[in-house]
Structure 1
Amino acid sequence: MAVRIDLTLDCADAPALAAFWKTALGYVDEPPPAPFKTREEWSAQFDLPEGDSVDDGAWLCDPDGVGPRLCILKVPEPKTAKNRLHIDVRVPGHGSAEERWARIKSESERLVRAGGIILDEFAGHHVVMADPEGNEFCVAAAST
């Protein structure tokens, strides 16, 4: 049996970064684990350090239950280097190379409006972007 994975992004502003990734991936806020009704109720069971709050993290999930959970956690230190692991945002659909590239460009432009930044373009193949906190990701066509 394969294991399930979560992807975790460190950040300075969890609510803002969560808003970007919900827009980018179509994810939603993950409900708190049972039997808790709210994230605040869930976090109260932990002995959080002074000054930490439930708003220092965000937990997102694929509403269809297919993609990995995304955890976004506030950390004190800034991002200092290129990510060693990154997310690929895959645009769906088939068609000619020109049609696929048009969908990639359209999605990249949508994510710029949501706060992303285009870092580089590999015409006809993929666009390298960064989220509002500088985490790199790519926009490319789905392989099938």
Structure 2
Amino acid sequence: MNSNANKVLIKLKDKTDSGEPIVLAGQTSTSIDFTNDVREYTSKTTVDANGVPVRRYLPTRFGATISIESLYDPTGTLTNGDILEMCYNQVAVDFLLGNDESGSKVIKGAGFISSASASFGMDETSSSSFTLQVDGGITFETVA
């Protein structure tokens, strides 16, 4: 494994644009949170193999959000300002989360930038935080 194996990056693009999503310049961290709503289907007779009463559940709906942190980097093709604008304009985006290493798993999907904030401190590098609300499902793909 080489040093690039740990470089998991978020790539985004306006859903109406052609081509592949591109790396957000200056990103420092990204995290993804999955949630499954579950419904209980327990009855009075629901027991385990030993006859002990238990609760039973079925997953019903899936949801995911992605949190992104980045520093201002004007050299990139996709910058903090672009993401702020996407949030303001309520643009649907395609995303890819992962790295380009052959054999790596990447997560792909679509969604909306549901929140965005930026900090412009004096004598500091400007930074931004974004939340991407996944719209629909996601896919896991292996990089060829």
Which has the larger strand fraction?
2
Structure number with larger C-alpha Rg: 2
Give the TM-score, by structure 1 length. 0.28
Which has the larger helix fraction?
1
Give the TM-score, by structure 2 length. 0.28
